[in-house]
Structure 1
Amino acid sequence: MITVFVVIILLIIGILFPENEKVSFFGWIYLIWLSVNAPQKYLLGDYVVYQYSYNNLITQDSQFEKGYTLLEYLGNFVGLNFETFRQYFVAIGVIILYFGVRRFTKNHSLVLAMYIPTIWVVDIIQMRSFVMMSVMVLGFSLLLCNNLISKILAVTVILLGASIHSSGYLFLIGLVLYLLVKSISNFIKYLTYGAIIGILLLPLLLRSSVFISIISFLGNITGRSALVNNLSDLFMSGTPINLKLIYYFILVLSLTVIVLITKDNQKINDDKTFIVFKVLVGGITILFVGTVLLDVASDYSRLIRHGLLYVYILIAWYFQNVKKNGQITIRQLIIGIATCSLVILVYITSQITWGSDIPMSTPYLLHLTGN
């Protein structure tokens, strides 16, 4: 039950003492401890697949991306068994995430309080996706410098992240929009209209040969020809309508929070604040992309998780910077209610999207019960 205690403490600190970068460091240490000490048998089939790939690099080619495969070779070269390799891999992922988050906000406690109980459990099982996401947060944080060198570095880091998990290439959509769109309000409008159009048109597109050609092209440039077969067979199974409706509501809640925070911030015209907003909306773009791709398969809900982390960072930033005059405005109250509703729904979807194994594993991965 220690995780419940830690999350409550982080939540209280995040709300009452939002500039908590130093005191919340214990939260990051705890997240590393949780990640490193995740019980193997509750990491499900993903653990078995990763372990098999790691232990059989000599006899057969890895089925994963080149960046991750290189790390597998490195682990084998220095003599690490798979579990030790996994522990180093996820610990480094948490450290990278820490450095990314700290460039956006000092309110680490609130980010961790929302992230650990809602998203982390699935992330630690799908560890390549988790580390890729951490690299993406760091990559987008480089854009805060707002100069040519930082943009080149951001692209480089994003491509490195995509070499660990190929869904990272989709983050380039947010990067391109960040570079092209000048107004935050227009940025949000384009994402909203694009999501609506995508949700309506993608089911029709999936039936066309054009989509298969696009996927084949992506499979070739990412070096994952198996991706083509997966998308043609397993991943084009779609998502149950009841689950899609919940994710659509998550998107609406996220959009509500983003718009209200934008309207409630009086310093939006300040250059530094403007860049923070714009970069975070660039990262949140993957939330919209993932919601559209639910028509392909529920597997793409991982993109929604990654986008929600940027929403969490934005919320934490807001509580750090909101004016405290002793009174809570109606808008702030709505933001608080929408945030609570969002966190609850994200937790629910994390438990029902991937079948019955996740609810079974959650208490053990969060150390809510003994092994």
Structure 2
Amino acid sequence: MSITEFTKALYKTNKYFDGHTGISWDDLYPLEKKLPPFPAINMEDSLLLINGKQIISVNNIPATNLIELVNGATYKGMHPKIKIKKINTSMAPLLYLCYGIKSPFIIQYKNKEEIKTDTVFTRIPAQPQRKEREMTLPYYLDIYDKESIAVITYSTSAGKHETYLKDFCRLAFKDIIRKKIKYLFIDVTQNPGGNDGMHGYLYNYLLKKSYKFKIMESFSSYMFEKLVEEETQQYKENKKLTKKIANMKAYFYSHNNTYPQKRTYKSWIKGPKFKGKIFIIQSNHTYSAGADFCLYTKSMLKNNCTLVGEECGQYFPYAGNVVDAFLPNSHIQFRYATKITYDPDTYLKNGFLQPDIWYDVNKELELKDYINIIKK
């Protein structure tokens, strides 16, 4: 098997996994900027369309093969809107890596009952300049004093920003509480996830009491035994805990590698809390820990928390505790999860977290948008 065929076969395995497991798309991202893009396409009823016309082949590769490739390369549970965006940004790298094809693209398509062929030349687009704000750290605060509105942008839950988030929340909420702000918007529309523990720095100022969730977690046997080993070594003199671990193992292996857990969220600091109305702005680009923040906050605060925007992009339940690795010879990157958490599903529909208020968030929101949302 050639390297090209091997690469193609690997990417097509992603359909069996979720976004936290499978062959990494990281190798595609640099190529997206180096290769001329493939023309904009769409998918409907298992057909590949260009300008509404059915594609028959691309550079003599049948469209059925391409559909099989993109369906295989995109993970199970990917939001339909995100899937189309992903296909359009990554089609050129996928064609290049899996078939050795790049611009010009010879596209055969069906126009009514006639089969036509066009040769399409594309160019690498100029990279748009990022706004100054996008080049700063991923958290910032806007306050509209007259309208008593504050907007916190919480654009990542990555642990590497922990120190900054802790200091940011302390200063931001000091200002918000001092000014007696009535409406707080937390924008997670571009939050791809990270570590759920990061949410605690916001909960220090949002939660007035302790909240507990009963959840089920499913571990890989390797990960569970590793956790048990660490607990055993740390508390091997504690007979009560030793008995507890024995009970854990008995339950785990008799219940399909699952174990009940309790998750507790509360404020860890003393002092005043935010007393106003909370709105969380979510989008199809809100994933993993970012989507968890929406789900957990809504589950705890219920009517005092309004989810605004569109469905989160993350499908629930999903696997976590991700480990990144590389194949030894090809150095192709892949990732695998070691745990699945089954979260509360009260606010889910078909596995996706639903907003309370549907709103167009595919733009930069302005003060008038926040006022409109409050009035709904």
TM-score higher than 0.5? no
TM range (shorter): under 0.3
- Which is richer in helix? 1
Q: TM-score, normalised by structure 1?
A: 0.26
Higher strand share: 2
